[in-house]
Amino acid sequence: MNFDVTIIGGGVVGSAIAYFLSSQTEKNMQIAVIEKDPSYQEGSTARSAGGIRQQFSTRENIQISKFAVEFLRSISSHLSVDGDPVDVNFEEKGYLFLARDSNIPILYNNHSIQKSEGVPVALLDQDDLARAYPWMNTSDLAGGSLGLEGEGWLDAYGLNQAFRKKAIAQGVSYLKDEAYNLETTGSKVTAVLLKEAGRIETSFVINAAGVQAATVAEWAGIDLAVRPKKRFVYSFSCRTEIERCPLTIDPSGVYFRPEGQQFITGCSPEASNDPDCLDFDVDYNWFEEHIWPILAHRVPAFEAIKMENAWAGHYAYNLLDQNAVLGPHSEIQNFFFANGFSGHGLQQAPAVGRAISELILNGSYQTINLERFSYQRMLDNKPVSEINVV
Ligand SMILES: Cc1cc2nc3c(=O)[nH]c(=O)nc-3n(C[C@H](O)[C@H](O)[C@H](O)COP(=O)(O)OP(=O)(O)OC[C@H]3O[C@@H](n4cnc5c(N)ncnc54)[C@H](O)[C@@H]3O)c2cc1C
């Protein structure tokens, strides 16, 4: 078999790349996506919390999300197949970052970067918070930052499948198979080896393997500091109505948001308690002992909640700076990274899909310049770090 571009991993990132590449019909590229899990249940995408925000401190991340919002608002015009509308339940209900006194300077600093990028975001003081969210305990808060539009959540699995279906309609071949090695000649990858189908000769290889990214890189002799880190999402019900609830991020790092008639919540652990992990076991005590008390403190009505469900998923966690690694390797120039998205790869998929296709088709970024996210920064130890409020 022979393809121009072989994408390892058909999650939301690999499928977005396949869609954008195959949209350039005049190039008539032969594109393969290798995906080992036909259920799409084990990758990060289907297990994500589905959030999209513009409230970042890195300009590129803001621009990436702005493009995603534009794309999602008109998703049918991009991803419809045979005229069927596409609906990924994009709910623009905002992100609300809450801050205590000590974090107000960061909140204000991020706010000015966001405003200069044209993000519709508002700073709220303690009184504003109490007025807008009477269900919230604001006694220990100094303020918050609310996204007024272009933030919220969506059906992550649905977006993955919509990209996939459209890519297939545009001629992309999805192979249900597992890649297990690469062949290289000099400074080029020449073939991808598959467990079932054998060998694919290819001009470009794109690593979109999510938490397996470091393994795929290793096949080309590349050390990639991306590791699987387990995260839990818990859903719960609450009898009291919590009106106009955005995706709220408590100063402790615990977040919650509505999900249909219920809510979902979660929190990243301390770095010192965050081992590499690939299992799906759920820690229910983490909810009882850590998350619930914080929820109940922030929203007194959450004293009386019932946990309904829980699941585990994995971040493809960039150990350097928790940001994406994008573009070609500096020496093996036909090996491309689309890795290390940590907690924000879902919302980055549209812009990353477009960006990688620009690199393949034009040799350089055409819309958003994402050079700062190159693999070279990992070698140079130059992190592009988000300055987080929590
Ligand atoms: C609990 C949780 C909450 C999250 N919340 C958010 C959020 O609110 N907003 C947000 O933007 N992001 C969020 N994320 C992150 C987001 O889900 C990921 O960054 C994103 O889904 C990454 O997509 P991907 O395509 O890179 O990876 P994946 O979806 O994991 O896809 C990679 C695919 O590669 C396949 N694969 C791997 N190796 C091979 C191989 N050798 N051969 C063939 N196939 C292979 C896998 O089967 C998999 O399907 C969250 C993640 C988790 C776990």
| DSSP string computed for 113-133 | HHHHTT--EEEEEHHHHHHH-
Q: What are the tens digits of pLDDT across the range 258-279?
A: 999 999 999 999 999 999 999 9
Tell me whether residue 201 is in a domain.
yes
Q: How far is the CA of 299 from the centre of ligand 1 (A)?
A: 31
The whole-model pTM stands at 0.98
Total number of domains in the chain: 2
Q: How far is the CA of 335 from the centre of ligand 1 (A)?
A: 19
Q: What are the tens digits of pLDDT across the range 283-316?
A: 999 999 999 999 999 999 999 999 999 999 999 9
Q: How far is CA 78 from CA 15, 75, 83, 199, 211, in A?
A: 13, 5, 11, 32, 28
**Residue ending a domain, choose from 270, 301, 317:** 317
- Whether residue 140 sits in one domain with residue 175: no
Tell me whether residue 78 is in a domain.
yes
Q: How far is the CA of 314 from the centre of ligand 1 (A)?
A: 7
The pLDDT value given to residue 192? 98
Beta strands in 57-142 (DSSP E): 95-99, 121-125
Question: Which residues line ligand 1 at a C-beta cut-off of 6 Å?
Answer: 8-14, 34-37, 40, 42-45, 47-51, 178-179, 208-212, 231, 233, 313-316, 341, 343-347
- Whether residue 306 sits in one domain with residue 165: no
- The burial class, CB within 10 Å (0-12 / 13-18 / 19+), for 364 is exposed
* CATH number where 133 lies: 3.30.9.10
- Whether residue 297 sits in one domain with residue 252: yes
- Work out the pLDDT band at 241, boundaries 50, 70, 90: very high
Tell me whether residue 390 is in a domain.
no
Contacts of 91 (CB under 8 A, 6+ apart): 152, 153, 154
Q: How many CB atoms lie within 10 A of CB 272?
A: 6
| Protein residue closest via CA to atom 7 of ligand 1 | 51
Query: How far is it, in rounded angstroms, from Cα 23 to Cα 32?
Result: 14
| Protein residue closest via CA to atom 8 of ligand 1 | 51
- Whether residue 239 sits in one domain with residue 302: yes
CA dihedral 53, 57, 58, 61 (to 10 degrees): 0
Paired residues of 35 in beta bridges? 176
Tell me whether residue 386 is in a domain.
no
Measured over the CA atoms of residue 375, residue 379, residue 384 and residue 390, the dihedral's sign is positive
The enclosing H or E element of 165 equals helix 156-169
**Residue ending a domain, choose from 272, 298, 317:** 317
Query: How far is it, in rounded angstroms, from Cα 381 to Cα 119?
Result: 30
- Whether residue 64 sits in one domain with residue 171: yes
- Whether residue 6 sits in one domain with residue 67: yes
**Residue ending a domain, choose from 268, 298, 317:** 317
Q: What are the tens digits of pLDDT across the range 108-166?
A: 999 999 999 999 999 999 999 999 999 999 999 999 999 999 999 999 999 999 999 99
- Whether residue 350 sits in one domain with residue 211: yes
Residues in the chain: 390
- Whether residue 115 sits in one domain with residue 80: no
Nearest to 177 by CA among 205, 198, 157, 206: 198
Query: How far is it, in rounded angstroms, from Cα 5 to Cα 205?
Result: 6
Query: How far is it, in rounded angstroms, from Cα 216 to Cα 348?
Result: 21
- Whether residue 361 sits in one domain with residue 264: no
SS3 per residue for 218-286: HHCCCCCCEEEEEEEEEEEEECCCCCCCCEEECCCCCEEEEECCEEEEECCCCHHHCCECCCCCCCHHH
Q: What is the percent of the chain where pLDDT is above 90?
A: 98
| Protein residue closest via CA to atom 19 of ligand 1 | 345
Contacts of 271 (CB under 8 A, 6+ apart): none
Residue 347 CA, closest ligand 1 atom number = 11
Tell me whether residue 324 is in a domain.
yes
Q: What are the tens digits of pLDDT across the range 338-363?
A: 999 999 999 999 999 999 999 999 99
* CATH number where 217 lies: 3.50.50.60
- Whether residue 165 sits in one domain with residue 301: no
What the block records as the tokens of 73 is: 């608002």
Tell me whether residue 103 is in a domain.
yes
- Whether residue 146 sits in one domain with residue 262: yes
Tell me whether residue 183 is in a domain.
yes
CA dihedral 99, 269, 256, 225 (to 10 degrees): 100
- Whether residue 246 sits in one domain with residue 162: no
SS3 per residue for 343-371: CCHHHHHHHHHHHHHHHHHHCCCCCCCCH
Tell me whether residue 90 is in a domain.
no
Question: Domain residues for 290?
Answer: 95-150+228-317
The pLDDT value given to residue 8? 98
The pLDDT value given to residue 145? 98
What the block records as the tokens of 320 is: 């350097």
